[in-house]
Amino acid sequence: MATDRPGRDLSPHGETRVIKLPPHAPGMRIGLFGGSFNPPHQGHRLVALTALRRAGLDAVWVMVTPGNPLKDPAQLPPFAQRLADVEKFFRHPRIRVTAFEAPLRVRYSWQTVEFLARRGRGVKFVWVMGADNLAGFHRWRRWRDIANTLPILVVDRPGSTHRAAFGGAAGWFSRARLPEAQAAGLFRRKPPALVLLHGPRSPLSSTQLRQRAP
């Protein structure tokens, strides 16, 4: 089994950098759940736990991103603070909080997917996101490359059900969308493949929590 000992990889800038990943091995089923988590909340937890339970995953990697190209970086707290908050929030034996995107210096999710496809050969990665992110997925840089590399598991979020199912990239995914009953076998599917899961939802959002903060 691969461990969380550092390995050396080229960053997108051509530098050799030490990158530390959680334990993984060929054949493992791992969900990749990225975000700025500013701050983490119960909605994030529901997405991670729903993915673990209904997609039959061995683990979910919560990837704390250095920044979001679609958001103002000046509005983000320091990366170290967000990472510490996420580590305190997600306490589960099968949820691993990771920070490898920072030393890797990736800016876009397609770069993360490309790196993991190379570094984690044989691992059954599944991209995990909330329905609010799927609604804007068509705005992500090279989103089709992500969809053509990894199967995607989407967990419903309040206010995003209709937009995720019918707006944005939904038309492109129409032939790739699978029924919820097939979520447990999603990791076996050749991309593009997408499952939208419905179930318990939390009304909380990071935006609402920031607005309530003194």
Does residue 66 fall inside a structural domain? Answer: yes
Does residue 213 fall inside a structural domain? Answer: no
The Cα 170–Cα 177 span in angstroms is 9
Does residue 190 fall inside a structural domain? Answer: yes
Q: Percent of the chain at pLDDT above 90?
A: 64
CATH number at residue 99: 3.40.50.620
Contact 106, 115 (CB under 8 A): yes
Look up tokens 């979910």; give the residue: 60
Helix (H), strand (E), coil (C) string for 134-165: HHCHHHCCCHHHHHCCCCEEEECCCCCHHHHH
Does residue 161 fall inside a structural domain? Answer: yes
Paired with 18 in beta bridges are 8
Mean pLDDT of the region 144-171: 80
pLDDT at 93: 95
Q: Percent of the chain at pLDDT above 70?
A: 80
pLDDT digits (tens, 9 = 90+) for 60-91: 999 999 988 877 777 789 999 999 999 999 99
Does residue 47 fall inside a structural domain? Answer: yes
Does residue 184 fall inside a structural domain? Answer: yes
Please state the domain count of the chain. Answer: 1
pLDDT at 200: 58
| Top-confidence residue, 1 or 157 | 157
Mean pLDDT of the region 25-31: 98
Dihedral of the alpha carbons of 3, 8, 13, 14, in degrees to the nearest 10: -150
Does residue 7 fall inside a structural domain? Answer: no
Does residue 211 fall inside a structural domain? Answer: no
**Range(s) of the domain holding residue 72:** 29-200
Tokens of 193: 């493949």
Between CA 89 and CA 61, with CA 199 as vertex, the angle to 5 degrees is: 35
Confidence of residue 211 (pLDDT cuts 50, 70, 90): very low
pLDDT digits (tens, 9 = 90+) for 122-141: 999 999 999 888 888 999 99
Q: Is the pLDDT of residue 39 over 80?
A: yes
